[in-house]
Amino acid sequence: MDDKNRYSVPENEDYEPGSNNEVLRNLLGIKDKETIEQIEGKELERVGNELPGLYGPDHQFTALDIQQIHELWLADIYPFAGQYRTVNMSKGGFQFAASFLIDKLIQELETKFLNQYTPCKFNGDELTYALGIVHVELIIIHPFREGNGRVSRLLANLMAMQAGFPQLNFEPIDKTENTDGFNRYIEAIHAGFDGNYQPIKQVFAKILNAS
């Protein structure tokens, strides 16, 4: 795998013995990256179908909800499911929020964005803005050791359903199906870090159009 697609973490990170530092220590003792990704995918599909029954159309999301979503997804795989990371992380030269700031930043996410944009009853430009800004801010915080992008998509999906959409189709930014779209998505995340949310609005407009 290309190094730019892998996370950089301190050398003492807790990987599964015998996994060549490719698989985090897990409850299943799995050492193979492809196998653990398949299991994560199956659990992601399961929890994606369950969550709409837990968070209704009038639910206002909180920081605790984000932790719960992560735990519901990964509780049978990783011991850290639902827990904020304790290591600093970067990817492709992009530094995510320092671990000691996560509690503070996630509470600010709730106060500034979740309280304002959920329950998500918007449409048009207001909807793409709501989805985009919450998604970018959560990605920048990157509160968990694993699964941040997928948790962010689960939350976006729930918000879109509150606005009357079906489950979102993320194929426009799928890195295996649409490399150009994925690259534009990453560029939009970086733009959001600088306070420019227009690119991520455009990304979510394409996602909504495909859904």
Helix (H, G, I), strand (E, B) or coil at 202: helix
For 115, half-sphere exposure in the C-beta direction (CA atoms, 13 angstrom radius) is 7
Asked if 27 and 17 touch (Cβ cutoff 8 Å), the reply is no
Q: How far is Cα 151 from Cα 124, in angstroms, rounded to an integer? A: 24
Return contacts of 121-127, CB within 8 angstroms, 24+ apart: 121/162, 121/163, 122/163, 123/163, 123/164, 125/201, 127/160, 127/163, 127/204, 127/208
Token representation of residue 43: 């659990």
- What's the rounded Cα separation, in Å, for the pair 209 and 122? 15
Task: Give the containing element (helix H, strand E) for 186.
Answer: helix 179-193
* Eight-state DSSP code of residue 94: E
Q: State the helix-helix crossing angle for 148-162 and 124-141, rounded to 10 degrees.
A: 160
The catalytic residues are: 142
